[in-house]
């Protein structure tokens, strides 16, 4: 279950409560359900403040609204537990098998994972900029919008102009990939990243870290084949940071499209890469350890992470090499 799936599940619970009269509110007035990663020290993996948002319109306390929704979420597929904390926050723990559903979704969609139809029926007319950085940002935003179902056209002077601080595109000095990352990783209105550090193969180089993590995922698959291990999610994997990053990928792409902010994709790729690099050492057997279902499941998770990294880099127009 992805955060988008969880948001939809909670929304369905709200609509059922409205439909059976437990919540008296105009369904058209129900706010968008936002689900976020639970904060440090909180309960569960995800949390939502929807009960607080509905308290005023329904005339009930947030705790009462949360209790009504909890009853309607009790047997929802993919949810292991629903708890109420504080003034009425709903906290969610996913079932362990939910990781398998997520991995199968990622691998089934491939590089298109996270693309969707949230902006279907929307037409966006973008201005064609002449300045180099603005041109690359606009081109990337167009790709993000189309990936969410929007129809994108270009206008010579009357289209939407994305505010972009100028920056030179220098592929001859940095190479195409580093030149694009330099311009896209910083928010459009901010100064582009310094170029020379992007040429250093070091963990302080964010582009290197993302591409290296993708290369490590590819190498784990090669090493797994050599050991006779086929990736297949068969048992729960204790990797909440990595599973959370994969589940958050669709929301990151949609937010980047809506806000015209490709830097959100780049920052999400960094988080995914960091989670994968912290997880990679547990994937394959060590020493005399025998291959097991746990190794096959971890390898499937690593493959899914590599797929997300490659797909995100593709959206930014940056290559994802198998070896670095």
Rounded to two decimals, what is the model's pTM? 0.78
CA distance 314 to 318: 6
pLDDT at 157: 66
SS3 249: helix
DSSP-assigned letters across all residues of 150-187: -EEEEESSSSB----------HHHH-HHHHHHHHHSS-
302 Cβ partners below 8 Å, 6+ apart? 216, 217, 220, 221, 231, 276, 279, 280, 283
Chain centroid, CA 165 distance in Å: 26
pLDDT at 109: 96
pLDDT at 7: 87
Of 204, 218, 228, 133, which Cα lies nearest the Cα of 171? 133
Q: 33: which 2 tokens? A: 């359900």
Q: Are 313 and 324 in contact (CB under 8 A)?
A: no
pLDDT at 79: 84
Q: 9: which 2 tokens? A: 């599940």
- pLDDT mean values, one per 10 residues, the chain (324 residues): 81 85 81 83 84 92 95 82 92 80 93 94 93 96 97 85 94 95 97 94 95 98 96 84 86 92 96 95 93 94 98 98 93
CA distance 130 to 198: 25
CA distance 37 to 91: 10
Q: Are 320 and 210 in contact (CB under 8 A)?
A: no
């Amino acid at each position: 279950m992805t955060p988008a799936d969880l948001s939809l599940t909670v929304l369905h619970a709200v609509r059922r409560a409205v439909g059976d009269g437990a919540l008296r509110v105009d369904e058209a007035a129900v706010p968008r359900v936002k689900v976020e990663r639970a904060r440090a020290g909180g309960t569960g993996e995800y949390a939502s403040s929807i009960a607080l948002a509905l308290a005023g319109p329904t005339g009930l306390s947030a705790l009462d609204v949360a209790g009504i929704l909890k009853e309607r979420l009790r047997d929802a597929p993919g949810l292991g537990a629903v708890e109420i904390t504080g003034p009425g926050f709903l906290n969610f723990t996913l079932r362990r098998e939910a990781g398998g559903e997520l991995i199968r979704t990622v691998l089934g969609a491939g590089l298109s994972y996270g693309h969707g139809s949230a902006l279907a029926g929307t037409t966006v007319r973008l201005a064609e900029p002449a300045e180099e950085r603005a041109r690359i940002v606009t081109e990337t935003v167009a790709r993000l919008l189309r990936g969410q179902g929007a129809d994108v056209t270009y206008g010579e002077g009357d289209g939407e102009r994305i505010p972009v601080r100028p920056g030179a595109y220098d592929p001859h000095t940095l190479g195409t990939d580093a030149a694009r990352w330099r311009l896209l990783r910083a928010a459009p209105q901010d100064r582009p990243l310094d170029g020379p550090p992007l040429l250093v193969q070091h963990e302080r180089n964010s582009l290197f870290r993302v591409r290296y993590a993708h290369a490590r995922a590819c190498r784990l698959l090669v090493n797994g084949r050599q050991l006779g291990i086929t990736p297949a999610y068969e048992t729960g994997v204790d990797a909440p940071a990595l599973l959370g990053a994969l589940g958050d990928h669709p929301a990151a792409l949609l937010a980047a499209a809506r806000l015209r902010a490709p830097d959100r994709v780049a920052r999400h790729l960094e988080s995914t890469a960091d989670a994968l690099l912290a997880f990679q050492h547990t994937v394959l057997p060590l020493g005399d350890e025998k291959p097991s279902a746990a190794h096959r499941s971890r390898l499937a998770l690593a493959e899914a992470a590599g797929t997300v990294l490659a797909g995100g880099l593709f959206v930014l127009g940056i290559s994802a090499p198998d070896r670095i």
